[in-house]
Amino acid sequence: MTFTFPSLFFVWLLPLVALPVLIHLINLLRHRRVSWAAMEFLLDSKKKNEKSVRIKQLLLLLLRMIAIAAIVFMLAGPILQDHWSRLFGGSNVHHVILLDDTGSMADQWANTNAFSRAKSVVENIIRRASRESSRQKVTLLRFSDAALGKPPEILRQVAADALVDKLSELSGRLEVTALGAGPLEGLELIEKRVKPEADESTILYLVSDLRAAQWQQSPAIAQVLERLNGNGSEIQLVHCVDAAHGNLAITHLGPVPGQQVAGISMRMAVEVTNFSDTSATNVPLAIEQTLPAASNAELHEMAALGSIKIARIEPGESVTRSFDVTFSSPGEHVVAASLPPDAIELDNRRQSVVEVSENVPVLIIDDGGEDQSIFLRLALAPSARVKTGIRPRIERSTFLRSGDLDRYHTIYLLNISELDQQEIKNLEDYVRAGGGVVFFAGTQLHRQFVNDALYRDGEGLFPLPLSSPATLLVDRLDKAPDVQLQKDHPIFSRSFGDSSNTWLQSIAIRRYYAPAKHWNAADDASVSVIAKLRNGDPWMVEKTFGAGRTLAVLSTAAPLWHNWGRSDPSFVLWALDTQVYLGAAKVARPERQVGEPLRVDLPTGEYQPVVGFIAPTIPTVEPQQKGDLTQVHATQSEADLQRQVAEYGTVLRTGIYEALLSPIDGSSEVRRFAYNAALSESDLQTLDQGQLRQILKDVSFEYLRAEDLLVPSTRQAGFPLAEQWWFFLILVCVLVVEQLLAYFAGYHRAKKKDHRR
């Protein structure tokens, strides 16, 4: 406690408090002893009541002294110690500040946001520390720096005017990073690098929004805080939001599996999640797409495509809507979806880079004999007027030895007799990298070759060992269709998912390749039978191989061993859907989020080793402006000596990033990457003091609101007692009791009785 006028308290308090005692003593000296016989009776009466009278007089004297002391105390201007005074009082103090600058700190309400309040708390701590006479040191570490392994922004610097000036400059540069990170990395870094010294006390401020998702999913936070407690650190959890705010976020935007070809309409899906306690109604979504540019190297401008309105999204639920988009030219195009502003604007806009090709290259390997490739080719690409975007190429099996297989989305092998070791290796490498292969049986298929070279006891591409061609006998009493399949499988759902069509009933199977008798699909988790015959034998078997898939159809591609596709379009739909399903990995692009690295993988010898990266400016609905160019030298890949990698580093801002490549032929190439806000930052549910104590259990900490540390500079020493209503109430009570006691302790003439009748 301090005083505005300390001399009034320390110099005048004792003399003024002694004044009632002095008056009492002077009053006693005024009395003279006079002997009087009649007083003997009164003296005897006085002795009987002397004890109670003295107690009353002493209490009265004490109350008068307290009243005078209270008035002098109030006039001296006492200032009560607040939280600041308690923290900064004492000896040398090291203030360690862990500042949350992740995406959720953009949470805004009224005319402020969580990060602005957090920066104000940090500024107040450092400014107040700079005014203390004792030694005060400061360490400042941001969540983002800890997650990236960077050192603290300020490390053990003495709190002085120079540090205050540095903080003012730093505060202008500090911004929310859109990074998804928790306090754990920062606490571990503090525990490792910020060791307490013998002559100082340590106060750890964790300035954050204290979101439930971060703390409830990481028990290690409590363990680190407990260790810091044990090392003598005082824990201050500073809550920077006033309440949990509702938030809508776009959590997915990307193409639905299908052909991504120029001039053909493609379907995209957008997902919106409601991170609120109440339902959201009539949610508008604005959709944009890039306009054609003069060249693929130029930055495309965005144009409005339309809007979608979602009628209702329940609390905690996600709703997905689809829309169609068409790009007139091949290349990398950008599609964006936006929500109206709410608590966090970082997750209200999501972008996706769609790689549109001129066509979808497909390879059909047919060694002849029955010319089955024509039937399959017409199913995939009927004519120039019926544009599917697929461009089949028919080759012999020797093409697998030297051809560039990686450029084909799917490879179909029809009635193959044998392949050499190099052809098999190239095919396996292709599937491992995400390619799709379909095997069709036929008269030229050799069982021994398949079992020994392609199946290889389950280690190869082919999903099952074969026995020999078999005939599916006709059973006129059994009305079940010849084929039973998984109607919800992606390659069957469009053709046979509708229970009203009779296409499945019309398929008649005559011949097929029977599996080996000892084979059981349940023995291999990577294999599944997706279609089987009436007699229980498999007809289509799928296998996962590396990042790709293979499909074995144990009948011919053309209607030779069956009648499928002669009188209904189900074979065409099946062929197109199978192409989409098996070729999905070739067109799929991962959804990238802030906090993940950006790197470009290049084949050695085909590109110059220097790659230029252009980061976006702050994303807006307006066309993006290009940011600064960063040149990165590619290094040899440790995993593959035939490839080199250029690493830009960890991305901290949302938007479209560009990689400028220079092929050795002198041309230019641009690759684009969409980075969106981390999904973990959209849920703004926070923890209160009771919930934190349940999570932290044995950790000793103090829970503070940001308001507790955001006091005006004139009040940073504390709160004037003269402005506290309860102090005046106590003073009034003392004076009232003093008057009552004075009345009862004094002498009062008895009232005369009225004897009149």
Specify which residues 412 forms β-bridges with: 364, 438
Sign of torsion over alpha carbons 513, 517, 519, 521: positive
User: Are 537 and 422 contained in the same domain?
Assistant: yes
Residue 284 has pLDDT above 60, yes or no: yes
CA 212 to CA 219: how far, in whole Å? 12
**Counted domains in the chain:** 4
Confidence of residue 574 (pLDDT cuts 50, 70, 90): very high
Averaged over 178-202, what is the pLDDT? 89
CATH code at position 340 = 2.60.40.10
Would you call 690 exposed, middle or buried from its count of C-beta atoms within 10 A (0-12, 13-18, 19+)? Answer: exposed
pLDDT in tens, 474-526: 876 667 889 999 999 999 998 888 766 788 889 999 999 999 999 999 999 99
Residue 712 has pLDDT above 60, yes or no: no
pLDDT in tens, 30-46: 555 655 555 665 566 65
User: Are 457 and 565 contained in the same domain?
Assistant: yes
DSSP state of 625: P
Is 702 domain-assigned?
yes
User: Are 124 and 77 contained in the same domain?
Assistant: no
Identify the pLDDT of residue 8.
52
Higher pLDDT, 719 or 202: 202
Is residue 545 a contact partner of residue 432, using CB atoms and an 8 Å limit?
A: yes
Identify the pLDDT of residue 619.
46
Identify the pLDDT of residue 755.
52
Q: Give the number of other Cβ atoms within 10 Å of residue 748's Cβ.
A: 7
Domain termination site, one of 531, 564, 587: 587
pLDDT in tens, 71-128: 766 666 565 555 545 555 456 899 999 999 999 999 999 889 999 999 999 999 998 8
Mean pLDDT rounded to a whole number for the chain: 85
User: Are 579 and 597 contained in the same domain?
Assistant: no
Amino acid in position 582: L
Question: Among residues of the chain, what percentage have pLDDT more than 90?
Answer: 56
CA 156 to CA 137: how far, in whole Å? 5
Is residue 241 a contact partner of residue 330, using CB atoms and an 8 Å limit?
A: no
Task: Compute the chain's Rg from CA coordinates.
Answer: 42
Is 383 domain-assigned?
yes
pLDDT in tens, 406-423: 999 999 999 888 999 999
Is 662 domain-assigned?
yes
Confidence of residue 356 (pLDDT cuts 50, 70, 90): very high
Identify the pLDDT of residue 620.
41
Identify the pLDDT of residue 564.
93
Identify the pLDDT of residue 534.
92
Identify the pLDDT of residue 59.
78
Residues near 530 by beta carbon (within 8 Å), at least 6 away in sequence = 485, 486, 489, 491, 492, 540, 541, 542
Is 600 domain-assigned?
yes
User: Are 182 and 322 contained in the same domain?
Assistant: no
User: Are 568 and 431 contained in the same domain?
Assistant: yes
Is 86 domain-assigned?
no
Write out the residue range of the structural domain in which residue 313 sits: 247-357+590-681
Identify the pLDDT of residue 92.
85
User: Are 397 and 535 contained in the same domain?
Assistant: yes
Identify the pLDDT of residue 730.
76
Place of tokens 């703390």: 215
CA 336 to CA 333: how far, in whole Å? 10
Identify the pLDDT of residue 427.
96
Identify the pLDDT of residue 715.
41
CATH code at position 115 = 3.40.50.410
Is residue 203 a contact partner of residue 89, using CB atoms and an 8 Å limit?
A: no
Residue 621 has pLDDT above 50, yes or no: no
Domain termination site, one of 569, 587, 605: 587
pLDDT in tens, 597-616: 999 999 888 999 999 999 98
Identify the pLDDT of residue 449.
95
User: Are 54 and 184 contained in the same domain?
Assistant: no
pLDDT in tens, 653-703: 899 999 999 999 989 999 999 999 999 999 999 999 999 999 998 899 999
User: Are 131 and 208 contained in the same domain?
Assistant: yes
Residue 714 has pLDDT above 50, yes or no: no
From 271-285, 430-444, 446-460, 495-509, the region with the lowest mean pLDDT: 495-509
Confidence of residue 624 (pLDDT cuts 50, 70, 90): very low
Residue 453 has pLDDT above 60, yes or no: yes
Is 756 domain-assigned?
no
Identify the pLDDT of residue 627.
67
Identify the pLDDT of residue 25.
63
* CA-based nearest residue to 531, from 482, 581, 586: 482
User: Are 190 and 176 contained in the same domain?
Assistant: yes
CA 323 to CA 232: how far, in whole Å? 58
Identify the pLDDT of residue 456.
95
Question: Among residues of the chain, what percentage have pLDDT more than 70?
Answer: 82
Identify the pLDDT of residue 716.
41
Estimate to the nearest angstrom the gap between the alpha carbon of 694 and the chain centroid: 24
* CA-based nearest residue to 426, from 400, 407, 408: 400
User: Are 475 and 582 contained in the same domain?
Assistant: yes
CA 239 to CA 254: how far, in whole Å? 36
Averaged over 624-634, what is the pLDDT? 78
CA 198 to CA 91: how far, in whole Å? 12
CA 743 to CA 534: how far, in whole Å? 113
Is residue 211 a contact partner of residue 686, using CB atoms and an 8 Å limit?
A: yes
Is 752 domain-assigned?
no
- In this prediction the pTM is 0.78
Identify the pLDDT of residue 639.
78
DSSP state of 613: E
Identify the pLDDT of residue 724.
62
Averaged over 349-364, what is the pLDDT? 94
User: Are 305 and 331 contained in the same domain?
Assistant: yes
CA 587 to CA 333: how far, in whole Å? 13
Identify the pLDDT of residue 324.
94
Is 200 domain-assigned?
yes
- From residue 420, alpha-carbon distances to 66, 400, 401, 440, 546 in Å are 108, 10, 8, 18, 21
pLDDT in tens, 2-25: 555 455 555 555 566 666 666 666
> Percent helix, strand, coil in the chain (nearest 5)?
30, 30, 40
How do strand 233-239 and strand 201-208 relate by DSSP bridges?
A: parallel
